[in-house]
Structures are given as C-alpha cells and as structure tokens.
Structure 1
Amino acid sequence: MIEGTDLYEYFSCPYKVYNRHNRDKSLMLPPSDFSRKLMDAGREHEKEVISKIEHERPKYARFDFKEGFNETVKLMKKGVPNIYQGVLMDKNYMGIPDLLVKQEGKSKFGNYIYIAADIKSSLRSKESQIMQIIFYDMLLSKIQGKSTGKGIVYLKEEVEAVDLTKYKDKFEQALVKIDLITDGLEYGLHIDTVCRDCPWKNVCIPSAIETHDVSLIYGLSRPNHYKLLELGIKTFEDLEGADVEKLAEIEGIGVESVKKWKEQAKVLITGKENITKIKLPEVEKHICLDIESKEDGTVYLIGLWDGKFKYFHSDDDEEKIVKSFVDYLLSLGSYNLYHYGSIERTIFKKLFDKYKIPADVSKSILSKMMDLLVLVRKNAILPISFYNLKDVAKYFGYKWRASDASGSNSMVWYQEWIDKQDKEMLKKIIDYNEDDVKATALVLKRLSNE
C-alpha cells in the first residue's frame, strides 16, 4: 500500500521509500532523542491547531482502514465542515490527511467540495509537504469526482493556501517512480548529512562503504550523483578513471568540481590524506570558539579555547554573556578567533547589532574571525565522506566525552537542564562545548604548521 508518507519521504530520500517497502522493519533504529523532541513538538502543534477548529473524526477499529474509509465517506456525504484524520483510499493508495476542509463548489456529494490540509510545525511549506497534499487531492478526486487543485498547510505561524497545479507534472513523475520502487526497484541511495538521523542509516551507510558508492564523495550533491549514475559512474574507481572534460560537459557540472571529486575519490581509495599546510597569522593568541543556543536562537553559552577552556554562560541573560565575551576580547592583545562553519559569524554580527556593541569594536572582532571549515575545504582532502567538525576531528583522533554528542542533542540536554535543574546535565553541555572548541583547535593544528 502506497501512502502519503511515501510522497513526503520520496522528495527527501527515495531510498527510504525502497527500504520501507522492501526491507525488514526490525533493521530500523529507534528515533534519536532529538527526533523524538521534534515529533513531540509536531504533535503539540497539531493539537493546538485542531483544538481551535470544530471537527468530526471517523470512528473505526484500530488499523481497520477500510472501515475508516467508509466512515470518512459517510462524513463527506453528510457535509461535515471539517473532518479530522479522515481515511482516503483508491486501489493501492491510501492517505490520512490531517484535515478535510469543506468549501463551496460542486462534487458528487452536492454543492460543496473538500480540499486536503496538513498541519506542520515548520515556518514555511516544503515541496515534500506539498507533494503529500497533492497525493491526498488525487485520492479526493476519485472519491468526490473532482479536484479543486488547491490545498492548505497549517504552518507554525500562518495558514498557507497552495496551488497544487504548479506541482502536478513533478508529482506524476514521482508517483510512477514510487510505484516501481514499491514493486522492488532499488533506486535512490545517496549518502549525505541527513543520513545521520535516519532510522535506516545502519543499512545504507555500511552498504555504501562496502561498494565504494560514489555518493560518499564529499561535495557531490544528489542531483549530480544521479547524473553520474546515468553515465555508469557508480563507484570511487569509476569516478577516478573518468574523463574530466567529458564529465564537465554535463549541465551544472564544471571542470573544477570534477577535478575535486576525482581527487577525493583517489584519497578514499588509497586512504591517504592530502593536506596543504597553511600559515597562521602572527598573533599572541589563537582562540577557538563555539556557541550553544536554545531552539529559539537565544545564545546561552560561549566557549573559548586557547590552551585552556573559558566560557560565558547564562540561561536568561544573553546580553550579559555577549558583553562579557566582548570585554574579555578587549582585554587581550593580538588574537584570532577560529570557528567551524559560518553560523558563529552570522550570529555574532546579529548579537553585536542587537546589544549595540560599538561599531569599531564589532568590526574589529568580526575581522578576526576565521571559518576553519572554509580552510579545510580549500586545503585538505581527507579519506572521509563528511567534513563537519565531528567527522574531521574524529579522523584526526579527537574523542568527545559524550557518546551521543551532537548539536541537536545538546538542545535536548539543555531543555532537561531547564526542566529539572539537573547540574549533571548542565555539566554535560559545558563539557560538550569544551570538546567542540578543543576539537576545533586540533583541526587547526593539523591544518597548520603550528
């Protein structure tokens, strides 16, 4: 049975659809703490939205979806204004939209028609969400004899009306592919950072490593991966032996990208890194920096490492820690600040504006910030598939104290600290921040001549 979830999953990873329909579910991992937190937040948002809408819900025995379908049709014939969790079915397709909303129009039921709506906790609608609604609309058209070509997404802060006709061709192509995948076509394996929190990762990643799957090449996007597959390039070895000029003729792929991919393929095959050492500026202190923030973006912890760990923490006074951080930097002689990824610079620029840090001070601090990820990408080719801090530092030998260390999990830990005031949880967060800045320092050391 193909369900609305399959459309949603297809547009994030087609291989999840393959796994769902063709593999033993016991191979799936349980959701991570962060995934559970997101699911809980989604359910709470749905409860809040639905509590404000007068509705009826079809009554049926659990998992008896045929009965659920019949009860839903009865409610539609009755002309119920809003049907919550109605069951839609046609042949091998089934969907359970969050809402069926009655509107003016004509259908086989009378002078009204239903459109499908889903409730999502995101700020903006996503293509995958819209495709799911188109699937529901397709089923609705079979039941009520007509499609409106419209859908609704209840987002975190607004209600969005969607013109489904804009996506019709793409939807129809996807549905054909999904039909084939559910019948056993193995399609769509691509390894990237989203795999880290996927319940199927222990199936896909080992398989890709064993076969030298070309998607393990760092920087190779899913669309470009599929273009390579069309040319028969499936493995590291295929890519290393490919002609640069021929691949560069593919739309959207340039010579420099191909050269970089081929170099990465060679390093993955040999296991030997290729690092061009960089010369660091001559300053008194090389300081590595990392921040921790709440889900709403509020910064509650700034950690520094220059051979020893220093941090600024406050649960409820962001301004205090920002100004303490600035005062500390002003007390120093010459220094450089190293962070891993662009987010720190972006956040500090906003914080300096928000708390009216003098322009000359703000400009001076920002000018001393260097994104280590940019330097890694430019100067290092490593025998790993991901270049985020955890992977690069672990490759160089760093070990985080927490086995479940991650930015997303740190948000879960922080919420536990706030809810329970468990000092061990706060210590875990601070230790995690210290590990991040020490790991950044190790990468800096391995990349430079220091």
Structure 2
Amino acid sequence: MLLTVEMLRHYQRCSRRAFLDVYGDPIGQDFQNDFRAKLQQDRYALQQTILAGRTYDKPNFPYGDWDAGANATKVLMQQGVELIYRGVLLADFGEAQEYFVETTAETNYQLPPGISLISRPDLLVKQPGQSIFGDWIYVPVDIHLGKRPKQEYQVVAAYHALLLATMQGVLPSQAWLMLRRPNPHYTVNLSKCLPQMQSVCLECIEMLLQEQEPEVFISRHRCNLCPWLNECYGVAKSQQHISLLAGVTPSRYQYLRSLGLTSVELLADADFTELEPVLGEEAAQLLICQAQCAIANQAMPLTSSTQQFTIPKDLLASPIELYFDIEAEPGLDLDYLLGVLVVDRQAKTETFHPFVAEQPASEGLIWQQFLDLVTAYPQAPIFHFCDYEVLTVKRLAKCYNTPREVRETILSRFVDTHLWITTTVTMPVESYALKPIAHWLGFEWRDPGANGQLSIYWYDQWLKTGDRTFLDTIIRYNEDDCRATHHLKDWLVNFLQDL
C-alpha cells in the first residue's frame, strides 16, 4: 500500500473519499468539473509566480517511478542545492515510525509490512542545521490558494516533515505554508501538528486495510468539489439518508445516531426534549419540523417566528421592485457582474440590467452604473438572497470612495429573502440555498448545470479567450438568479398572507 498526500488530505475531509479513491469504480467519478480544473490551474500559476526569478532544481525521473524520484531528490539534497521544486519523499512505514513523537498511544501501533509513505512538497528549502548531508537541512514548503492555514494544510505539512526526516536523518524544526494573502507566510507548529498527523495517518491506513466502506454523508460545503459527489449522492438518495435533511450537520448527525434517530421518520416522531440538552430548544424543534416537512413534502410555518413577523406594508405597496445578484471571483477580490432585475408592477414589465466588468479594471465602472440605476428608483426595495450583496456594497463603496450617506441609503432598502425564508417557514428542501428552494417552488434555470463555481470558470475563460459565449452564459445565469429571487419572494408573500 502506498499512502499519498492526496489520500491523507482527503481522509481529513471525508474518510469515504479516501476509501473510494482506492477501492471505488472510476466510472462513478466526475472528471469533468471545470471549476476544479481551474483551481488546479490557479494553484500552478501561483507556484510559478512564487518561483519567478528564483533558481531551483527539480528531480528528473520517469513519472510514477517513485523510487527513482526519491533517489533523484536525495542526490539534490546531498549536493546542497538551495531550492528543490516538487521533490519526492518516500519511506517505509517502519522508517517513518522511528520519528513519531512520543505523545500518543498510537506510536506503538503495529501494521503489516509493505506500507510505504510518499509526499511531494511544493518546495524544499535549504536552511542552516545538521543532517546526514552536512551542515544544512531542508524545510518543506507547500503553496496554497487558501487565505487561511487550514488544519488539513498543516497536517500535510507535518507529513512532509516526517518523511523528510527519513531522508535527511533529522526532523526539521518547522514547516512553512505559502498562502495567497493577507498573510502569505505561515510557520507550522510541528510540535502540535506531528501528533495530529500521526493519528490521522494511522486511522487512514487502518481504514484502508480493513476495506470497510465508510458510511455516506452528504455535506454541501465539503462535497461540492469532490469527483465522487454524484456517486455518493445516489447512495444517499437510495438510503433516504438523514444527511440529506437541511440542518443535519456531521456533529448533529453523530448525536442523532447516539439517540438511534437515524431516519427521517424517526426524527419526525422524536420528542424535542430528547434533543434539547445538546442541540438547544430552537435547533431541536427546527430539525424535527424539517423532518416532518420532508415526509409531508409541504412547507410549514415556523409558529414562533410568524407570530412576530409581519411584511412591511411599504414593500407590498411599492410599484417598482429591484432584484439584485452578484457574480464574483473571491480569489481576486473582484465582483465582475452586478445584475439587477427591475420589476414594474404597474406597467407589468420586467427588465434585466447586467453590469459586467469585461476586464477586471472595469469593476469601478460597473459599480457606478449600479449606483446610477438604483438611485433612479429611490423608493424601490432591493431584494437579494443572503448577505453577500450587503457585504459587497460595503466593500465597493469603500474601495471607490462612495459617500457614506449614499451607501447607507442604498443599504436601508435591502431586503434579504433568505432571512425571510429561514425565520418564517420550514421547507422540504435539502438546503436553504437559492437553487434547492427555487427548484422546489417550480423555478428552473435555463442552464440546469450552471452555478457560482462555473460562473467563475466561465469568466476566467472569457478573459483568456475573448469568446463572448462565456460572458453571455454568465449573464443568463445571473438573470435567472435574480428571477429566482423574485419567484421566491412572491411565493413567500402569498404563503404568509394565507396563514
């Protein structure tokens, strides 16, 4: 068995993914995720940016011949070169175990022979110190697109350090992460991360050796970029797995399992006082109500909220309504499309205005175009979904020196339809994101597979190719988001008025 960095990283996020990477049928994978490919390209581009102007060496070996790669890397280390790009660190588990820190019970864990560990840190940087090569050592460095030193990054960095110790005869005192910003250089605390890495490493190996397929669990945040998502989702649907219920997080699921509440039916019949001690009264009632909605396949009012919630009369009386949605590239701090649907209820017209930054430098221009439009309708409420639009208006106003009174006047007109939904009604949906809600209400996007991640990919392709088709697809998707928000708002108003 060969334990790779990818397996270790995937195991931390989802043990099932690590298992499927080894034992799953490749036919079940989705290899065509354009956004995932873009992330890989962006990470490579960031590596090249960091390496630009630096002299470095890279081991030369036939791809897949990891023994040759490790030997070539070791030769470079013996020569004392300053920087090694994508070196190969390879060790037998027994060799690596000699450098396990004595802080966990697992250090004496016995595994069968034939297990090898491999990693390929982005960089190995020469530093002063004592190793088997002389008065220098190497320190592993990984380059990531993320802005935060995630725990999975640090565990992998500790894995590099462990394997590096088997090559140079000494554990490095530190490992580094190079992130995008705002703090691009991060020093990993190996004394803290090595024990964590050891536990993760041993757990992953044991799970793979047992060949016992882990239980499926659908987590939107963790699963979205996984190539096994469709495979796992199919399994979850066939099992009517409770993780498909909105609000069932991994930690909540473990608690529900401990109570034997492993199906939607059992949860729907549960007594909320049984869940209250850990989840709290509100969360317990919401989960039970969510299960009841799923069984009945109908929306239900949240009694405590609807008793307090009233729709402002001026919102219902306004002849003009604006629906606002944004397409953005967080990695570039760029909002490249500000879309506004103007609904004139008296004239019975709907007009969509897409303000598009055809080049990143045009963001300021589309911001001004947006301001001109919304100030032309000073009394119109501005409906949006979630708080991203609020945060974006604050960011753009600050970035382009918009007067505070202009910003505050616009924000005072904002109405968050997601907040309306989640505080007034329970719906039989797997997630309270816009798409699942709108789909249940019967709204369909013209491009069924379109999503925010693909929008980022399409914009990147537009910048690279100049093919207008990509830009037109983004505009169509953004307009549909605005229209979905409109559809949702009208449904919610009618639903609440009928109570």
TM-score when normalising by structure 2: 0.83
> What's 2:160 paired with?
136
- Residue type at the aligned position of 2:71: N
**Which of the residues 364, 371, 377 maps onto 1:319?**
364
**Which of the residues 251, 264, 267 maps onto 1:239?**
267
Question: What are structure 2's unaligned runs of at least 5 residues?
Answer: 93-114, 344-348
Question: How far 1:271 moved relative to its partner?
Answer: 2.3
Question: How far 1:444 moved relative to its partner?
Answer: 0.7
Q: Distance in 2 between matches of 1:238 and 1:53?
A: 61
**Which of the residues 387, 390, 395 maps onto 2:432?**
387
Indicate how the Cα distance of structure 1 residues 330 and 121 shifts in structure 2: closer, same or farther if over 3 A, else same.
Answer: closer
> What's 2:20 paired with?
19
SS at match of 1:197: coil
1:165-222 deviations in whole A, cap 9, x for unaligned?
2223332322232112212233363312232332101111111122122222212322
- Residue type at the aligned position of 2:337: L
> What's 2:350 paired with?
308
Question: How far 1:322 moved relative to its partner?
Answer: 2.8
Q: Distance in 1 between matches of 2:75 and 2:47?
A: 24
Checking the alignment, whether the CA contact within 8 Å between 2:462 and 2:471 is kept in structure 1 is yes
> What's 1:202 paired with?
230
Matches within 5 A, 1:51-450: 51-91=52-92, 92=115, 93-157=117-181, 158-183=184-209, 184-187=211-214, 189-194=216-221, 195-250=223-278, 253-275=279-301, 279-282=311-314, 283-284=317-318, 285-294=320-329, 296-305=332-341, 306=343, 307-315=349-357, 316-332=361-377, 334-449=379-494
TM-score when normalising by structure 1: 0.91
Q: Distance in 2 between matches of 1:322 and 1:27?
A: 43
Question: What are structure 1's unaligned runs of at least 5 residues?
Answer: none
- Residue type at the aligned position of 1:119: I
Q: Distance in 1 between matches of 2:449 and 2:297?
A: 27
Answer with 352-361 or 195-204: which moved more.
352-361
- Residue type at the aligned position of 2:326: I
Indicate how the Cα distance of structure 1 residues 349 and 50 shifts in structure 2: closer, same or farther if over 3 A, else same.
Answer: closer
Checking the alignment, whether the CA contact within 8 Å between 2:329 and 2:336 is kept in structure 1 is yes
- Residue type at the aligned position of 2:328: S
Q: Distance in 1 between matches of 2:140 and 2:258?
A: 37
Q: Indicate whether 1:50 and 2:95 are aligned.
A: no
Checking the alignment, whether the CA contact within 8 Å between 2:174 and 2:187 is kept in structure 1 is yes
- Residue type at the aligned position of 1:189: V
Checking the alignment, whether the CA contact within 8 Å between 2:355 and 2:369 is kept in structure 1 is no
Question: How far 1:56 moved relative to its partner?
Answer: 2.4
Answer with 155-164 or 395-404: which moved more.
155-164
> What's 2:40 paired with?
39
Indicate how the Cα distance of structure 1 residues 176 and 269 shifts in structure 2: closer, same or farther if over 3 A, else same.
Answer: farther
Question: How far 1:294 moved relative to its partner?
Answer: 4.5
Checking the alignment, whether the CA contact within 8 Å between 2:139 and 2:172 is kept in structure 1 is yes
Answer with 187-196 or 253-262: which moved more.
187-196
Indicate how the Cα distance of structure 1 residues 31 and 49 shifts in structure 2: closer, same or farther if over 3 A, else same.
Answer: farther
Question: How far 1:308 moved relative to its partner?
Answer: 0.6
Q: Distance in 2 between matches of 1:141 and 1:105?
A: 13
Question: How far 1:443 moved relative to its partner?
Answer: 0.7
1:252-310 deviations in whole A, cap 9, x for unaligned?
x3221122112112222332322467635323133211123345233343222215123
Indicate how the Cα distance of structure 1 residues 260 and 288 shifts in structure 2: closer, same or farther if over 3 A, else same.
Answer: same
Indicate how the Cα distance of structure 1 residues 164 and 228 shifts in structure 2: closer, same or farther if over 3 A, else same.
Answer: farther
SS at match of 1:132: helix
State the identity %. 27
Question: How far 1:160 moved relative to its partner?
Answer: 2.4
Question: How far 1:53 moved relative to its partner?
Answer: 3.5
Report the aligned-residue RMSD: 2.4
Indicate how the Cα distance of structure 1 residues 214 and 177 shifts in structure 2: closer, same or farther if over 3 A, else same.
Answer: farther
Checking the alignment, whether the CA contact within 8 Å between 1:341 and 1:374 is kept in structure 2 is yes
Q: Distance in 1 between matches of 2:84 and 2:461?
A: 37
Checking the alignment, whether the CA contact within 8 Å between 2:324 and 2:482 is kept in structure 1 is yes
1:400-448 deviations in whole A, cap 9, x for unaligned?
1123311121222223333444333333222222111111011111111
- Aligned residue pair count: 448
Q: Distance in 1 between matches of 2:80 and 2:406?
A: 65
Question: How far 1:230 moved relative to its partner?
Answer: 4.2
1:306-362 deviations in whole A, cap 9, x for unaligned?
151231524243334333333333333532111011100111122233334343332
Checking the alignment, whether the CA contact within 8 Å between 2:328 and 2:334 is kept in structure 1 is yes
SS at match of 1:262: helix
- Residue type at the aligned position of 1:186: E
Checking the alignment, whether the CA contact within 8 Å between 1:312 and 1:321 is kept in structure 2 is no
- Residue type at the aligned position of 2:321: H
- Residue type at the aligned position of 1:286: E
Checking the alignment, whether the CA contact within 8 Å between 2:338 and 2:356 is kept in structure 1 is no
